[in-house]
Amino acid sequence: MNVVSLYGPVQGDLSLVEAALNSIRNTDFPALAEMLGHVLDTGGKRMRPALALLAGHYRDYNLEQLVPLAASVELLHTATLVHDDVIDMAATRRGRPTANSVYDNAASVMLGDFMFAHAADLVAQTGNVRVIRLFARTLMRMATGELDQDVSAFDWSRGVRDYLRRIGGKTASLVATACEGGAIISGAPEEWIQALRDYGQNLGMAFQIKDDMLDFTGDEERLGKPVGSDLMQGTLTLPSLLLMETSPRDNPIKTFFQARRGSKLKLELAVRAVLESGSIARSREVAERYAAQARATLDGLPANETTRTLTGVIDYVLERES
């Protein structure tokens, strides 16, 4: 799909979201403004804010409320990435130096905190108590998922069910909230709100599984991070978990984990084992099942350009290479 037209009827309105995001740089503290510019100028696809606008396109398309919601969702997402990079000691993200590698960890943590606070301020501008509570619950789910990932680092006893629960909170919950929040603000009927929330949850699951596949199969330059980054951080994702299910004893992932960030050779052996095991194809099947569930939720929505665009986003998520 042509990324320029990926978001159909709301593509042009994403500039309003960008303006809202850029406005937070208007601070009297030059160092903070510089740091905000660094993390916001990432060139991402802005999928989450676009979904909030698309979900709000079904009824009353009120940009005065939808733009702050969309911007808050993207800011919340970006803040979690800043904190993730501190936790993971990551040097690059999307091919650019991370905030913690340019500044220091303490400053990066406070930068993430500032962004969380500003995201809360933006969502409060919607004036919708239901959406504000949804935002707060989602932040708690995301934090729980991130904490679960952190405390289970290098723990090879975790299974697929643990993984699906973790990404359901850490990643998919925010995609679901973007869709549900947009639908609520538009005044959509409850059955549409639920359908769009389910769409976002399933899309988010497919998105994260595809992301975890790319960690093994992607091009390092296009990904902007080293292949095998998840294993380097001690994080088991679906491809590696599926390998460990089929080869629980003679397993190079376990060998690498036992060494706690072992040698580069041990990491390369673990990555190669995943690639040669068929785990990537099996992971693709799981992602496609979530994508099929996302498509099914759209059956109860009007057959219009917005619904066709949401269907196209599913195709993009499955086929993207970065």
Retrieve residue 313's tokens.
């986003």
pLDDT at residue 164 greater than cutoff 60? yes
- The model's pLDDT over 23-39, given as tens digits with 9 standing for 90+, comes to 998 888 999 989 998 99
**What is the model's pLDDT at position 4?**
56
Q: Which of 99-108, 205-214, 283-292, 308-317 has the lowest mean pLDDT?
A: 99-108
Q: What is the pLDDT of residues 39-89, one digit of tens each?
A: 998 767 899 999 999 999 999 999 999 999 999 999 999 999 999 888 877
The pLDDT, as a whole number, for residue 251 is 87
Q: Which of 83, 303, 71 is nearest to 178 (CA)?
A: 71
pLDDT category, 99, cuts 50, 70, 90? confident
What's the whole-number mean pLDDT along residues 160-188?
Answer: 97
CA distance 102 to 122: 27
What is the per-residue pLDDT for 43? 64
Domains assigned to the chain:
12-319 (1.10.600.10)
pLDDT band at 221 (very low <50, low <70, confident <90, very high): confident
Residue 178: which of 157, 161, 200, 160 has the closest Cα?
200
Task: Identify each DSSP E strand in 84-149 by its residue range.
Answer: 92-93, 96-97
**pLDDT at residue 139 is higher than 90:** yes
Say if pTM beats, i.e. exceeds, 0.85: yes
Per-residue pLDDT, 178: 98
Confidence band of 141 (pLDDT split at 50, 70, 90) = very high
Query: What tens digit of pLDDT does each residue of 3-27 get?
Result: 558 999 999 999 999 999 999 988 8
**Cα–Cα distance, 7 to 100 (Å, whole number):** 32
Provide the pLDDT for residue 217: 95
Structure-token match 């808050």, residue found: 72
